[in-house]
């Protein structure tokens, strides 16, 4: 199955968030919903750093696995 990544402009002006339980040290992963069925992830210490995008469905399966104790 081939999926097209979101265009770079779609990664601008995203609303980033992190877990409410995260520390103030900045050692967290931030997540943002991207148009076109994608989720963006980045290191909270490097707001201008690299961004990883994954399909929304794959991210939801990963979160479900974490919540069920698979990881």
The verdict on residue 47 lying in a domain is yes
* 1: in domain: no
**pLDDT in the model for residue 64:** 96
Residue 39 has a CB neighbour count (10 Å cut-off) of 20
Report for 10-14, 25-29, 30-34, 48-52: range of highest mean pLDDT = 30-34
31 bridge partner residues? 17, 41
**Where in the sequence is the domain holding 12, given as residue range(s)?**
8-19+30-67
Q: Strand, helix or coil at 10? A: helix
Residue 3 inside a domain? The answer is no
pTM, full prediction = 0.76
Name the E strands within 1-71: 29-34, 38-43, 52-55
Q: Please count the structural domains in the chain.
A: 1
2 falls within a domain: no
């Amino acid at each position: 199955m081939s999926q097209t990544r979101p265009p770079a402009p779609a990664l601008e002006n995203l609303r980033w968030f992190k877990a409410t339980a995260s520390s103030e040290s900045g050692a967290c992963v931030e997540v943002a919903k991207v148009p076109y069925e994608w989720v963006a992830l980045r290191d909270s210490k490097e707001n201008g750093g690299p961004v990883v995008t994954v399909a929304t469905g794959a991210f939801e399966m990963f979160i479900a696995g974490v919540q069920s104790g698979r990881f």
